[in-house]
Structure 1
Amino acid sequence: MSSAKTSLALLAFALAASTAACASSGKNDPNLAAMKAMEEALKPASAEERAAANRADPLTRANFWGKENAKDPEDLTTALEFARSLREIGSHDRAIDVLSRTMIVHPTSADLLMLLGRIHMSKGDPESINAGGMAFYRAAEAEPGRAEAWAALGTAYDRLERHSMAQAAYAKALEIEPRRTTTLTNYGLSLLLTGDLAGAEQKLRLAAANADAGSRVTENLALVLGLQGRFDEMKKVSGTAAPSQIVEQNVALLQGLIKPARSWDSLAEPAVTVKMVEAAPSIDPPVAAPAGQVEDSADGDAPKRTLRLRN
Structure 2
Amino acid sequence: MAQKPAKRARLRIGAAVSIASLSLFAGGCAQMGGLPDLTASNSAAPVDAANPNAPAQTELAAATEYWGKKFSTSPMDKEAGLAYAKNLKAMGHKQQALSVLQQAAVYHGDSPELAGEYGRLALDLGQAQIAEKVLAQADNPARPDWRVISARGTAVAKQGRYKEAIPFFQRALALAPNHPSVLNNLAMAHAMGGDPVEAENLLRQAVDAGGDSKRVRQNLALVVGLQGRYEESAKIGAQDLPIQAAAADTAAVRKLVALEPVEVPRNIGGTQLAGVPAFRGSNSEQGGSGAWDTQVAAAGR
- Shared fold, TM over 0.5: yes
After superposition, the Cα gap between the structure-2 partners of 1:91 and 1:59, relative to the gap in structure 1 and judged at 3 Å, is farther
Give CA-to-partner distance per residue, 1:234-256, whole Å, 9 cap, x none: 23433333333333333333333
The letter for the 1-side match of 2:119 is G
Q: Is 1:171 aligned to residue 173 of structure 2?
A: no
* Counterpart position of 1:223: 222
| Whole-angstrom CA distance in 1 between matches of 2:94 and 2:235 | 44
Task: Map Cα deviations across residues 95-126 of structure 1 (whole Å, 9 max, x no partner).
Answer: 444324433554443331122113322442xx
Inter-CA distance 143–215: structure 2 relative to 1 (3 Å threshold): farther
Larger Rg: 1
**Which residue matches 1:133?**
132
> Aligned residues: percent identity?
26
1:121 alignment partner in structure 2: 123
| 1:51 CA displacement | 8.8
| Partner residue, 1:237 | 236
1:221-273: CA deviations, max 9, x gaps?
Answer: 11101111012332343333333333333333333333369xxxxxxxxxxx9
Which is bigger in relative contact order (C-alpha 8 A, separation at least 6)?
2
Which of 86, 97, 104 is 1:84 aligned to? 86
Name the CA distance, whole Å, in 2 between partners of 1:116 and 1:50. 31
* Structure 2 CA distance for partners of 1:50 and 1:80, relative to 1, 3 Å: farther
Query: Contact between 2:124 and 2:294, CA under 8 Å: does it hold in 1?
Result: no
Partner of 2:153: 154
Q: Which runs of structure 2 are paired with 1:67-78 in the superposition (5 Å)?
A: 67-78=69-80
Tell me, in whole angstroms, the C-alpha distance in 2 between the residues paired with 1:148 and 1:234.
Answer: 30
Q: Which residue number in structure 2 is paired with residue 48 of structure 1?
A: 41
The alignment covers a number of residue pairs equal to 223
Q: Shift of residue 50 of structure 1?
A: 9.3
Task: Give the SS at the match of 1:48.
Answer: coil
Q: Quick check: 1:58–1:89 contact (8 Å CA) kept in 2?
A: no
Residues 183-222 of structure 1: matches in 2 within 5 Å?
Answer: 183-222=182-221
Distance 2:293 2:93 in 1: 19
RMSD of equivalent CA atoms:
3.2
Structure 1 residue 304: deviation in Å?
A: 1.5
Residue of structure 2 aligned with 1:66, choices 68, 74, 97: 68
Q: Secondary structure at the match of 1:219?
A: helix
- State the one-letter code of the partner of 2:41: E
The code of the aligned residue for 1:118 comes to: R
Unaligned regions of 5+ residues in structure 1, if any?
1-44, 262-272, 280-302, 306-311
1:277 alignment counterpart? 294
Relative to structure 1, the CA distance from residue 91 to residue 46 in structure 2 (aligned partners, 3 Å threshold; closer, same or farther) is closer
Instruction: Give the number of the structure whose residues are more often helix, by fraction.
Output: 1
Q: Which residue of 2 aligns with 1:252?
A: 251
The offset of 1:55, in angstroms, is: 3.7
Q: CA separation in 2, counterparts of 1:69 and 1:253? A: 51
- Unaligned regions of 5+ residues in structure 2, if any? 1-37, 46-54, 261-289
Structure 2 residue 298 is the aligned partner of structure 1 residue 304? yes
Task: Name the CA distance, whole Å, in 2 between partners of 1:251 and 1:220.
Answer: 12
Q: Please report how far the alpha carbon of residue 173 of structure 1 lies from its aligned counterpart in structure 2 after TM superposition.
A: 0.4
Q: Distance in 2 between matches of 1:252 and 1:100?
A: 45
Q: How does 1:96-115 map to 2 (within 5 A)?
A: 96-103=98-105, 105-115=107-117
Does the CA contact (< 8 Å) of 1:117 and 1:136 recur in 2?
yes
Letter in 1 for 2:298: K
Distance 2:292 2:112 in 1: 26
Tell me the TM-score normalized by structure 2.
0.63
Who is 1:13 aligned against? none
Q: What amino acid sits opposite 1:48 in the alignment?
A: S
Q: Report if aligned partners of 1:181, 1:210 keep a CA contact under 8 Å in 2.
A: yes
